[in-house]
Chain A
Amino acid sequence: MNMQQVVFPKSSANGFGRQRGDREVGARLENKMQLGKSNQGRIQTTGALAAGKTVGNESFSRDRLVYLTTCLIGHPVEVHVKSGSIYTGIFHATDAENDFGIILKMARLIKDGTLCGYKSTTEFVSKAPSKILIIPDKELVQIIAKDVAVTRDGFASDPQNEKYQEILIDSAISQSRHVEVERELEPWVPDEDDLQCPELENIFDGPWNRNWDQFETNQKLFGVKSTFNEELYTTKLERGPQTRELEKEAMRIAREIEGEDTQDLHLAEERGVDLHDDFDIDEEMRYSSVYRVRGVDDSGYEEDEDILLDSHNIETFGDSYDSLSRSADGVRMPSSSSLVDDAPSSQAAISEDLNCSRPNDQARQLASELPSKSFSVSASESRIRDKLLGEHGGSSDGNEFPEKQSVSEKPSSSGKLSEGPASSKATDEMHSASSHGPPDSSTSSNSDCVGTVSASGGFGLSPSSSMGSLSSEKSTLNPHAKEFKLNPNAKSFTPSQTPVRPLSPVSDGSFYYQTQMSPLPHMHMPVSFGIGPSFPGHQPVIFNPQVAPIQSPQAYFHPNGPQYGQQMVLGQRQVVYCQPEMQYKGRDY
């Protein structure tokens, strides 16, 4: 903190010499000379130009003026100008040397003096703030500032207040125009003089020879007697005549393991293998905890959990998928294998690594994999993604539905895909639907390759959803996909939800009357349309009240659950209502 006391000569006489003799005036002058110089130095750093021209008695008042205007720096002020306009902005500087014109930053015009009278508030149009506004002295009428910290107490509390209010959220920093969009990240290097922990380097080198016994230290410092017994936590070492040999053997095994070739970047780094020059792997690849198959886009958060979910799905669905996978595998093998060739070596290596490290990963234990499996997976992923880009509501899905049903035990969920979902649940599935794609490839890939990423199994969809969020340019066909077998007994497809549509305009005075509805197969709830307020009679679409109510206020919700679903199936005409027979104004579904 650069605190300097502004030494003002004793006050009251405002240069009028009423209470002071000349002698004192002289002394003050001298005083002010020095003051002036120091003032100059100080104030220049803040931006106000020059200062402290000490001319006679007025210097005293000038000093005060300068002091007060300095207090205003950074403070929001209101400036009235001759024309009657009022500007508000952040006080930046004043030309203390000359005639005290002022400079505001981020200034806005809040009242335009050139207009006669006041405009009504509804018409007042805001103006863009100007970054710097210079108001010359002759325009200046007055400057008003509220809550200015003038004396020391004000300042003392100020920094704390300022800092407290200055909680910069990341988005404020990142979006501020002052800051570049991308910061050049530099690796951290310890300071030159950072010798605080010199032992850190050594401390893990020889775990048995640390020259420092933590228990001893603890006891010394705090008088705590330790009951630590290492053998409680690890295998008891037999220290006998064979110790030497056992040790040698252990070292050998350790060396073997550590020297193992690994394609896993993290393991490699730990073992000191430096392959970073070879590949264009950035820090993200090196240190991110996101598991990814080489060549696949980052699809973020799902991946880790998806691996686990994959495993669950395989447990549940694994068997049923096998045949489907296998045959599809056979068909698609050529395509994916060709891709394997094209892929950069690192990718192949990494897929290999999947195989190697599989035993370590619980999710991977369940699968019986072929080396190309990861590729088949990524292949299917890209296809799925393409599908997403196209239109997952498209007809191509229609073909696969029966397939899907035989495979998946959740026909309703798959059905939603084609419906262009608008409900929240459906939007969830949209998200996973990005992974939906062709069921055969996806299911099979799921059963096979656990190592791959992103299942949205959490949504209760078939495991096929796992693949979708990854993108790759590989073929999407899964050579291991289960062979398709038509299941003629599968439940026929019915959508469980319809998209919510706004009601079309209806005429007034349309009424529903209580009707005797013939019991129709799919309707298992009483269809009783009460005589309520007028609602669109000819439109049988009753919206599920659980769905976000998005229709116009004229809609009448009949709280009987999702009746519209059935009505969708039934078709509009089947809703019978008594007179008046309305002209059909609605839409055909």
Chain B
Amino acid sequence: MEGEEFAVGCFLSIKTTLGDEFEGQIISFDRLSNILVLQEGLESGPRRNIRLLKANHIKEFSLLRQDEDPLDVKKCFLDLTSLQAREDSAIRQAEADSERFGVGVTSEAQTLFDALSKTLPVRWDKTVIVVMNEVRVSSPYLPESVSGGTPAANERVRKVLEFERKRMQTRGTSQ
């Protein structure tokens, strides 16, 4: 990793030791930590795709061209409060989302859960989908696995489940 190649603004094509391949423009390279900061994509707009790569994981790279510094330092500001706020809201959102994702469930189960949640109030109870707090759908999430609740609710959940499974089938394995 010679210094010359890692000049700011250079466009590189990189292959990582894990098999990733991409192109990006160098924003910065920090020798001490051996981290190469790249931006992918050509726009120098305010929002970019950033990649931080440990240089020791570069399997091979090639210089595509040299360009200007993509980072206009005059425009670089840090608003700490908004960053903190962003983090807080992201965490809140993630917590809310985590309610939606079952733990230890297959993605098929998760898909069914998501489909049910479009029209019914659902929640996870370990690996059991609980609908309207009364109907329970346990693995393997077939219409037969629906239990509980009033006959009306039970039937409704069954129907939605059947319907959703059919849809999944027609869509194929491209889940």
Binding site for B on A (CB under 8 A): 1-8, 10-12, 14-16, 18, 42, 45-46, 55, 58, 61-62, 64-65, 67-76, 80, 82, 84, 90, 92, 99-100, 105-106, 121-129, 137, 140-155, 157-159, 162, 165-166, 168, 172, 175-178, 422, 500-502, 548, 550-551
Contact = CB atoms under 8 A, between A and B. Distances in A.
Contacts of B75: 151-153
Interface string B29-62: 1111101010100000111111111100100000
B28 A151 contact: no
A45 B80 CA distance: 8
Nearest to B53: A142
B130 to A, nearest CB: 15
B152 A126 contact: no
Contacts of B105: 125-126
A14 B6 contact: yes
Residue from B18, B28, B102 with most neighbouring chain A CB atoms (10 Å): B28
A165 B102 CA distance: 25
Contacts of B134: none
Contact of B151 (A144, A155, A159, A422): A422
Given A141-B53, A150-B76, A74 B151 contact: no
A82 B52 CA distance: 14
A100 B33 contact: yes
A302 B9 CA distance: 71
Contacts of B102: 126
Contacts of A550: 151-152, 155-156
B106 A147 contact: no
Given A65-B28, A65-B37, A106-B98, A148 B47 contact: yes
B85 to A, nearest CB: 7
Nearest first, the 8 closest Cβ-Cβ pairs linking A and B are A154-B46, A74-B87, A64-B28, A74-B86, A153-B46, A151-B75, A8-B73, A106-B94
A73 B6 CA distance: 25
Contacts of B94: 90, 105-106, 129
B49 A69 contact: no
Interface string B62-83: 0000000101111111111111
B107 A65 contact: no
B78 A6 contact: yes
A144 B20 CA distance: 12
**For A4, A68, A127, A548, which residue has the most chain B Cβ atoms within 10 angstroms?**
A68
A78 to B, nearest CB: 10
A148 B27 contact: no
B46 A150 contact: yes
A89 B102 CA distance: 17
21 contacts: A1-B81, A5-B74, A14-B28, A18-B7, A64-B27, A64-B37, A65-B30, A65-B33, A68-B37, A74-B83, A74-B84, A74-B87, A90-B91, A144-B52, A147-B48, A151-B46, A153-B45, A162-B85, A172-B92, A500-B151, A551-B155
Interface in B79-134: 79-92, 94-96, 98, 101-108, 110
B76 A502 contact: no
Given A137-B33, A142-B20, A550-B151, A148 B82 contact: no
A172 B92 CA distance: 8
A121 B47 contact: no
A150 B71 contact: yes
A10 B20 CA distance: 32
A141 B98 CA distance: 26
Contacts of B137: none
A175 B97 CA distance: 12
Given A90-B91, A154-B47, A500-B151, A14 B37 contact: no
B175 interface: yes
A16 B72 CA distance: 19
Contact of A71 (B20, B74, B78): B78
Contacts of B104: 125-128
A249 to B, nearest CB: 64
A7 B31 contact: no
Contacts of A16: 3-4, 7
B91 to A, nearest CB: 6
B32 to A, nearest CB: 6
Given A2-B79, A74-B84, A155-B82, A11 B8 contact: yes
B87 A73 contact: yes
Given A125-B106, A147-B48, A502 B151 contact: yes
Nearest to A39: B78
Given A11-B73, A68-B27, A176 B50 contact: no
B108 A122 contact: yes
A106 B3 CA distance: 37
B54 A176 contact: no
A76 to B, nearest CB: 7
B107 A144 contact: no
A149 B39 CA distance: 12
Given A12-B8, A70-B83, A126-B104, A61 B30 contact: yes
Among A61, A90, A145, A166, max chain B CB count under 10 A is at A61
A14 B8 contact: yes
B152 to A, nearest CB: 5
A123 B106 contact: yes
Contacts of B80: 2, 42, 45-46
B52 A69 contact: yes
B121 to A, nearest CB: 11
Contacts of B101: 126, 129
Given A105-B94, A165-B89, 19 more contacts: A6-B77, A11-B69, A12-B9, A14-B28, A16-B3, A46-B80, A46-B84, A67-B78, A74-B87, A82-B57, A84-B18, A106-B91, A122-B107, A122-B175, A140-B54, A151-B76, A151-B77, A155-B77, A162-B82
A147 B49 CA distance: 5
Contact of A176 (B6, B35, B96): B96
B7 to A, nearest CB: 5
Q: Which of A7, A154, A502 has the most CB of B within 10 A?
A: A154
Nearest to B101: A126
Contact of A12 (B16, B69, B103): B69
A422 B87 contact: no
Contacts of B82: 1, 155, 158-159, 162
Nearest to A146: B49
Contacts of A64: 27-28, 30, 37, 71
A121 B37 CA distance: 32
B164 to A, nearest CB: 15
A58 B30 contact: yes
